[in-house]
Structure 1
Amino acid sequence: MNKKFKATLQLLGVLILTAAFCVLGYMNANNIKLGLDLNGGVSITYQTVDENPTAEQMSDTVYKLQMKAQSYSDEAQVYKEGDNRINIDIPGATDANAILEELGEPGTLEFADENGNVLLTGDDVKTASAGMTNQNNNKEYVIELVFNEAGAKKFEEATKNNVGKRIYIIYNNEVISSPNVKEAISGGQASISPIESYDEANKIASTIRIGALPVKLTELRSNVIGATLGVEAIASSLKAAAIGIALVILFMLLVYRLPGLASSIALVLYVGLEMVLLQAFEVTLTLPGIAGVILSIGMAVDANVIIFTRIKEELGQGNSVEKSIKAGFEKALSAILDGNITTLIAAAVLYLRGSGTVKSFATTLAIGIVVSLITALFVTRALLYAFLSMGAENPALYGIKKDTKIINFIKFRKIAYLASAVVIVAGFAMLGMNKKNTGYIFNYDLDFKGGSSTTITFDKDLSMEEVDQQVIPLFREATGGDASAQAAKVAGTNEVIIKTRTMSTEERAKLYNSIQEKFSISEDKIVTENISGAVSKEMKTDAVWALTIAIFCMLIYIWVRFRDIKFASSSVLALAHDVLVTVTFYAAFRWAVGSNFIACILTIVGYSINATIVVFDRIRENIQKGEVKKKGLEFAVNEAISNTLTRSINTSITTFITVFCLFLFGVSSIRDFSMPLMVGIVSGAWSSVCIAGPLWYDFVNMSKKRKEKLSAEKGKK
C-alpha cells in the first residue's frame, strides 16, 4: 500500500467518523436531558406542620431539600414560598406521584434504644448514602451515615452504652432499620450492614436524609409544569450555534489555509462527539448550558491556533513542511496541556465542591476540555499528515510567519496597570453607589433575591405564545417595566404561574385589575405568594468556596509546573483582574445577577487562565534557551508576548464570534449571559498580553532587589 493511498484512506476514515458522530448526535438529540427552562418538569409544594417555623429552620430545610432534589437533577430548584412553604422544581420529570413516592413525605426522624429512649434526632444527621463493600469477596450493601459535630458526640455515647444491643431508627413512628451495635463508634461516621439490596439501602438512606430536616413537612400540591422558555429559545440558540460555527470555520480557512481546513473538520467532529457525550453522561442542559456549549466551540480551536502558529514559525525559519508540522505539535504540547489541565483541575473542584448550576457547568466544561484535546492533538494531526502525504508539500498552503516585530510591552506596563486600576476602582465606586441608591450592590434577579409568584386560572388553555404576548405585558406594566418575568404552564390545567420581582400591594392591585378586565376572570382565580431566591445562602457559599479552592489548586499546579511561585502569583492576579473588570460592567450597566452570573464568572476564569499560560510557556521557553542571559529579562518577556500576540488575538476573535452570535440571535436571557462574556473575553485577552507577563517581570525584579539588599546587609556585617 503506497503512502498516498494510505493517507487517502486515513482522511476518508476521519470524515466517516465525523459524519457518524454528527448523525448519531443529531438522531439521539432528544435523549439529551433538558432543564426546567427548556423542558418543564415536576413542581412540588410542601407546607410545614408547624405554622410558625423560624427563618433559620426554613433556611436549613431549603438547603437540605436542595441536596436531596439534586439526586434527580443538578438543575433542581428549591425555594421558599410565603413563610411556611417550600417549593421544589425538578426538570425533566413527568410523573409527580412517582417523584413524591421516591422523595417521601418529610417527617420526624429519631434514633432510640430498646427501651424507647431517644438518643439522637434528625437534627444530628448530616447526610446518609447507599454504598457497597466487599467482605471476603462477597458484595455487601451498606448505608453510610455522617453526623454533625453534636451528633457525633451523641452517637459515640449511644453506641458505647448499647454494645451488643440494637439501636432503632424511627421515621414518623415507624422503624425503618434496627442495626445491632458491635462496638463504640467515634469520629462522626458509621455504616449499617448488611442490607438486602442496593435499592433497599438507597431507600432507607433517602428516608434518613429527608427525615433529617429541621421541620416536619406535608405535601400541599404537586404539578407538572411546562417549560419556562418556549421552542423559540432553543431555535434561536441553535441558529446562533450554526452561524457561529460557520464564521469560525471561515475565519480559520482564511487565516490558516490548509491547517484551517483540518481544524474545521476537527471542529465539526468536536460538535458531534460532544453531543454524544452529553447524552452518555446524562448532563442536564439548560439555556446557560447551551450557551456554554456554544462558547466551548469558540474555545475548542484554541489548541489548533497554538499549533498552527508554531508551524508557521518553523516554516518561517526555512524548515520543511513535515519537520514544521512535527516541531509545531511538539513545541505547542506543553502550553496546550498546561492550559487545559489547569482548567480541568478547576472543573473537578467545582464539580466536587459546587452544587446546582455550578456542578452542571463543571460537567460541561470538563467534557469540552477533554474532547477539544482529543480533536486537536490527534484528529487535526492525523489530517495534516494525511494532506502532506497526499502531496500538499507547498509551504504557502500552510502560511509562513516572518520574523515577529518585538513590541516593548514592559515599557508601557505602568500605563496598562493604571488603565486597569481605573476601571476596577470605578467598579467599586459604582457598587457603592448602587448600594446607596437601591440597597443592593448588584441588580439581583429572582434566583438571588426572590420575588412574587402569581398563579392565574384562566377560562381556557392559553399557549405559551399567548402568555408571552397577552399576559406578560400586563406584569411588566404593573411592575414599572421590569423585564424579569418568568412564565410556566401547569400541565393538564388552565393555570399559568408567573414569577416576578416582589410586588407591592399597589402593584398587585393594578395587576389584578388589568387581568380581570382583559380576560374577564374573577379575583379569586388569581393568587400571589412571595417566594425566596432559588439560589440559597448555602449555595452561594458553596459557589464561592468552590471558586476559591479551584483558584488555589490552579495556583499550586502552575507553581509546581513552572517551578516558580511568581508565575502562579501573576496568573492569579490576572484572573482577579478579569473578574473585577467584569464585575465593573455588571455594576455600571445594572446587568441582572442570577445563577447565570456564577457560570459566567467561572467561564471567564477558565478562559483567562488558558490565555495566560500560553504566554508564560513562551517566557519559560526563552529562559531555558538562555535568552535572559543573552539579551536580558525585559527582552525575553517582550519577545514571549509578541510571539504569542497573534494567537491571543485570533483565539479571542474565534471565541468572541460565537458569543456575539448568541447576543445577536439569542433570547433576552441568552443576551444577559453573552454580554458579560464578551467583556470577559476582551478583558482576558488584555490581561494575558498586557498584565500577566509584565507582573511576572516586576515580581522577578522585586525578588532580585530583595536578594541584593540582603546580600549587601550581610556584607556590611
Structure 2
Amino acid sequence: MKKKQSIVILVICAVLTVLLGFTAIKGWGPTGTGSMANIRTGLDLSGGVSITYQTKTENPSQEDMDDTIYKLQQRVFQYSNEAQVYQQGSNRINIEIPGENDANAILEELGKPGSLVFQDESGNTVLEGTDIADAQGVARTDSTTGQREYMVDLTLTEAGKSKFAEATTNNVGKRISIVYDGEVISSPTVKSAITEGTAQIDGMAGIDEAKNLAAVIRIGSLSLELEEIYSNVVGAQLGQDALSSSVMAGAIGVLIVIIFMIFAYRISGLAAGWALVVFTFLDLICLNAFDVTLTLPGIAGVILTIGMAVDANVIIYARMREELTAGRGLHGSIQAGFKKAFSAIFDGNVTTLIAAAVLYLLGTGSIRGFAITLAMGIVLSMFSALVVSRVLSYAFYGAGIRNEKFYGKIKAHKPINFVGKKNLVFIISAVLILSAPVGMAVYNANTGKALNYSLDFIGGTATTVDFGEKLSLSDLDSQVQPVVSEVTGDANVQFQQINGTDQVIIKTRELNVDEREQLNTALAGKFSNIKAAEITAENISSTISGEMRSNAMKAVVIAVIFMLLYIWFRFRDLRFASSAVLALVHDILIVLAFYVLSRFSVGSTFIAVMLTILGYSINATIVIFDRIRENLSIMKGSSLKLIVNTSVTQTLTRSIYSSLTTFITIFVLYLLGVPSVREFALPIIVGILVGAYSSVCLTGSLWYIMKTKLGKKKIIDKEEVPELSAAETSVPGASAKPAPVKAASAAPKKKTAKKDRSELQSVKPKKGRRRR
C-alpha cells in the first residue's frame, strides 16, 4: 500500500469515526435519530406504565394466579423484555412496562382479560381459552395466486389438541364461533378435521384485523378473568444520577483502557484504541436501532463488552510481537498476527454466541435482553478487531510508521511449571468451591436463608405513602430510606414514584402487621404531611417468577452443553471441551460462593452476573487451548507437560492484559456507580479474577490429566524431563521451533361486521432439509 493511499485511508477512517460519534452522541434531525439519548430505558432509569388487575374470583387458587401471571408475562414482553408482572395481595396482579407513558394506549392494546370459549353452531363449548397455547396474526403470500393473505396462526395445548380434533371432526363444513365475554368475535368455517394441534383462521381483511383477533384470543386464554383496578405512570426507581454516573464511568473506563493499550502496544495499541472507540459508537447506535430496553445492569453489561472488545486486539498484537521476536519482518509480522490469532478469536466468540443464542431462545424477560446485548457486543467486537483494527494497522504501516521500536518485542521467558503446581491449584479450587454449599448450610441453619434473596426473588411488602410534597429520589434515599431500614433491619429498599402525584411506593421485605404499624408511625413522625391512617400496604410476589428461574437454569445448562459440543467439534478432542466446561462451572461456583459469604443481595442482577461469567470466562480458556493445539504440531517430540507449560506461558501476557482491561472498566463503574450498580459490578470483578486464575492455572492442568489419565489409550507422559539450558526452555516466538526433547510418549495423533367468510383449517408442518 502506497503512502498517499494509506494517509487517505486514515483520513477516511477519522471522518467515519467522527460521524459515528456524532450519530451516537447527538443524532440527526429534530428527533436526534441514532442518538443514545433515544435508547429505550427500563423502569429503573426512566419509569413506565403500571397497571393493576384484580381477579373476578374472590379467592383464586395460587396455581391459577401463578398460571395467569406467567401467561401475562408472555403478553407484555411484546412491549419490553424488561417488563415485570407480579402478584399483589391475594387476588391482584401488577404489570409494569418500562419506557411507556400512555397507560390508556397500553390497556387498549393489551386488551381486557376476560373469558374466551369456542362454541359449535348449537352453542356447545368445544374449547376453552386455556386450551390455546398461542395465537399470532401473520401475513403470507399465496404461492398459487400470488395474493397477500392475512390470518391467525393458532397453537393448541396438548389437552386442547385432542378436544379440537374431536370438535372439528364432528363439524366439518360448519362454523365454530369464538366467543369473548359473551360476544362472538369470529365464526370461521371448519374446512377439515384439525388433529395436529395447529390451525389457521384466514379471511382477514388486513394484518391489523389479524393481529387484533390474535391479541383477543391470547388475552382470553388466561386461567382467571381480570378487571382493571387502576393504572398510572410511575417514575424511575433510580433516577438520572444513576444513568449519568454509569455513562461517566464507561467513558473514563474506555479512556483508561486506550491509554493502557497505547502504553503496552504503542502503535498497535493506538490502532486497538481507535477500533475500541468505533466499537463503542457502533454498539450505542445498534442498541437504538434494535430498540433494546436498557436497564442499569444492562448498562454495566455494555461497559463489560467494551472491556471484552479489547481482548481480540490483545490476542492479535501479542501474536504480532511474537513474530517480531522470532525475527520476521514487520509487514510479515502484522500479517501473521492477524492470521494466527483468527482461530482463537473465532472459536472464543462463536462459543459465546452459542450461549447467547440458547439464552435468547429459551430465556424470558431480562435473560433475553441480556442475550441480545451480549450477541450484539460480540459481533461488533469481532468486526472492530478483525476489520477496523486490521485496516488501521496496515494504514499506519503504509503511512511510513515502520520502525520496530514503535511496535515492540517480547522477552523470552523460561516456561513456568504450571502443571507441576496442579495439586496445590486443585486444593485451592476445591476449598473455594466447597465454601458455597458449606456457607449455604450454615446460613440456612442460623437465619433460614441460604442466600440473601432480594425482593426480585422472594417478594415483600409494597407500602404506598402520600408525602404531601414532591420528593426527589435523592431525598428519598437520604431522608426516607434510613427511617424504613431502621424498622425493617434491611437496607434492601426500593422506591417508586407515581407521576402527577406526591405518592411513593416503598418496597421492602415482607412486613408483618406490627412492623407495618411501626413503619407507619415512624414515617408520620418524621414527615409532618403524612397521615398514618392513609398509608396502605399489600404483600407483593417476586418479580422473577419460578418459571423464569426455571427457564434460566434450563437455558444455562443447554448453553453449556452446546458450548461443549462446539469445542469438541473444533478441537477434535473431547478432553479440550470437557476441561473448558469444568473450568466454566468452577468459575460460576466460586462466584456463587462469593454471594454466599458476602451476603450480597441475590436478585435480577444475580442472573445477569452468572450469565456474564458464562459468556466471558470461556474466552481465555479457548486462547490457551488454541495455543496447545498449535504447539502439539510445532513441538513434536516434547513432553505434554512441557507443551502445556510453554503454551500457558506464551499466552500469559495476553491473559493478564485482557483481564486487566476488563477489570479496569468494571472497577471504574464500581467506584462511580450507585449502590445497585455496585451490586452488579463487584461480583463481576470477582468473576474476572477467578476466570483469569482458572484459565492460567487450572485449565491446562485439567487437560493434561485427562490426556494422560483418561481414555482408552492412556498416554504415559515422561514427568522427569532432562535439564535443559535457558535457550532451549525459553518461550519461543510463534514461528520458532523449540529444541525437541526426548520423551517416553509419541506426539499425539490428529483425529480426523360483514359476512364472516373466515375459515378454520389445519396446518401441516412443512418438510425441509437441514443443512449442515
The normalised TM-score by structure 2 is: 0.90
Of 297, 300, 306, which aligns to 1:297?
306
SS in 1 for 2:195: coil
Of 494, 516, 533, which aligns to 1:508?
516
Aligned-partner Cα distance in 2 for 1:196–1:569: 55
Contact 1:236 1:667 (8 Å CA) reproduced: yes
AA at the equivalent of 1:218 = E
SS in 1 for 2:136: strand
The equivalent of 2:642 in structure 1 is 635
The equivalent of 1:608 in structure 2 is 617
1:152-163 alignment runs, 5 A limit = 152-163=161-172
Contact 1:347 1:362 (8 Å CA) reproduced: yes
Of 481, 487, 492, which aligns to 2:495?
487
| Superposed CA offset, 1:235-282 (max 9, x none) | 110121121111111110111111000111111111111111011000
Offset at residue 468 of structure 1 (A)? 2.4
The equivalent of 1:104 in structure 2 is 111
SS in 1 for 2:496: strand
Offset at residue 506 of structure 1 (A)? 2.2
Aligned-partner Cα distance in 2 for 1:44–1:654: 43
Aligned-partner Cα distance in 1 for 2:203–2:595: 54
Contact 2:304 2:665 (8 Å CA) reproduced: yes
Offset at residue 699 of structure 1 (A)? 1.0
The answer to whether the aligner puts 1:117 opposite 2:124 as a matched pair is yes
Contact 1:313 1:402 (8 Å CA) reproduced: no
SS in 2 for 1:592: coil
Offset at residue 189 of structure 1 (A)? 1.5
Contact 2:41 2:98 (8 Å CA) reproduced: yes
Aligned-partner Cα distance in 2 for 1:601–1:293: 15
Contact 2:708 2:714 (8 Å CA) reproduced: no
Offset at residue 407 of structure 1 (A)? 1.0
AA at the equivalent of 2:444 = K
The RMSD of aligned alpha carbons is 1.3
Offset at residue 519 of structure 1 (A)? 2.3
| Superposed CA offset, 1:649-672 (max 9, x none) | 100000001111111110000001
The equivalent of 1:684 in structure 2 is 691
1:242-281 alignment runs, 5 A limit = 242-281=251-290
Offset at residue 290 of structure 1 (A)? 0.4
The equivalent of 1:529 in structure 2 is 538
Offset at residue 384 of structure 1 (A)? 0.8
AA at the equivalent of 2:526 = K
| Superposed CA offset, 1:110-140 (max 9, x none) | 0111111001111211111122222122222
SS in 2 for 1:548: helix
More helix by share: 1
Of 627, 630, 648, which aligns to 1:621?
630
| Superposed CA offset, 1:115-166 (max 9, x none) | 1100111121111112222212222222111111111111111111111111
| Superposed CA offset, 1:599-655 (max 9, x none) | 100111111111111111111111233x2x411211111111111111111000000
1:210-609 alignment runs, 5 A limit = 210-480=219-489, 482-520=490-528, 521-609=530-618
Aligned-partner Cα distance in 1 for 2:286–2:388: 17
Of 641, 662, 667, which aligns to 1:660?
667
The equivalent of 2:764 in structure 1 is none
Offset at residue 212 of structure 1 (A)? 0.7
Contact 2:245 2:672 (8 Å CA) reproduced: yes
Structure-2 change in CA distance of 1:294 and 1:14 (3 Å): same
Contact 1:575 1:608 (8 Å CA) reproduced: yes
Of 28, 32, 35, which aligns to 2:39?
32
Aligned-partner Cα distance in 1 for 2:16–2:443: 54
SS in 1 for 2:190: coil
The equivalent of 2:77 in structure 1 is 70
Offset at residue 349 of structure 1 (A)? 1.1
Aligned-partner Cα distance in 2 for 1:207–1:331: 56
Offset at residue 706 of structure 1 (A)? 5.1
Aligned-partner Cα distance in 1 for 2:660–2:379: 22
Deviates more, 1:122-131 or 1:608-617: 122-131
Deviates more, 1:345-354 or 1:174-183: 174-183
Contact 1:224 1:491 (8 Å CA) reproduced: yes
| Superposed CA offset, 1:669-697 (max 9, x none) | 00010111011001111111111121111
The equivalent of 2:138 in structure 1 is 131
The equivalent of 2:31 in structure 1 is none
SS in 1 for 2:420: coil
Contact 2:708 2:715 (8 Å CA) reproduced: no
Offset at residue 708 of structure 1 (A)? 8.2
Aligned-partner Cα distance in 2 for 1:197–1:417: 64
SS in 2 for 1:218: strand
Deviates more, 1:399-408 or 1:93-102: 399-408
What residue ranges of structure 1 are gaps of 5+ in the alignment?
710-717
Offset at residue 704 of structure 1 (A)? 5.2
| Superposed CA offset, 1:163-222 (max 9, x none) | 111111111111222221111112221121132222211111111111111111000110
Aligned-partner Cα distance in 2 for 1:125–1:534: 25
SS in 2 for 1:538: helix
The answer to whether the aligner puts 1:90 opposite 2:89 as a matched pair is no
SS in 1 for 2:538: strand
Contact 1:566 1:700 (8 Å CA) reproduced: yes
What residue ranges of structure 2 are gaps of 5+ in the alignment?
27-34, 717-772
How many residues in Structure 1 have an aligned counterpart in Structure 2? 705
Aligned-partner Cα distance in 1 for 2:217–2:445: 46
Contact 2:134 2:155 (8 Å CA) reproduced: yes
Aligned-partner Cα distance in 2 for 1:636–1:297: 33
Aligned-partner Cα distance in 1 for 2:130–2:314: 55
SS in 2 for 1:697: helix
The equivalent of 2:193 in structure 1 is 184
| Superposed CA offset, 1:452-472 (max 9, x none) | 101112222323333223222
AA at the equivalent of 2:7 = T
The equivalent of 2:8 in structure 1 is 9
Aligned-partner Cα distance in 2 for 1:685–1:553: 23
Contact 1:112 1:119 (8 Å CA) reproduced: yes
SS in 2 for 1:405: coil
Aligned-partner Cα distance in 2 for 1:38–1:246: 25
Contact 1:164 1:183 (8 Å CA) reproduced: yes
Structure-2 change in CA distance of 1:704 and 1:169 (3 Å): closer
Aligned-partner Cα distance in 2 for 1:522–1:250: 56
The equivalent of 1:60 in structure 2 is 67
SS in 1 for 2:410: coil
SS in 1 for 2:401: coil
Contact 2:246 2:672 (8 Å CA) reproduced: yes
Offset at residue 473 of structure 1 (A)? 2.1
The equivalent of 2:206 in structure 1 is 197
Contact 1:19 1:269 (8 Å CA) reproduced: no
SS in 1 for 2:293: coil
Offset at residue 566 of structure 1 (A)? 1.1
Contact 1:81 1:530 (8 Å CA) reproduced: yes
The equivalent of 1:23 in structure 2 is 22
The equivalent of 1:693 in structure 2 is 700
The equivalent of 1:648 in structure 2 is 655
1:699-714 alignment runs, 5 A limit = 699-703=706-710
Deviates more, 1:459-468 or 1:449-458: 459-468
AA at the equivalent of 1:281 = F
Structure-2 change in CA distance of 1:281 and 1:708 (3 Å): closer
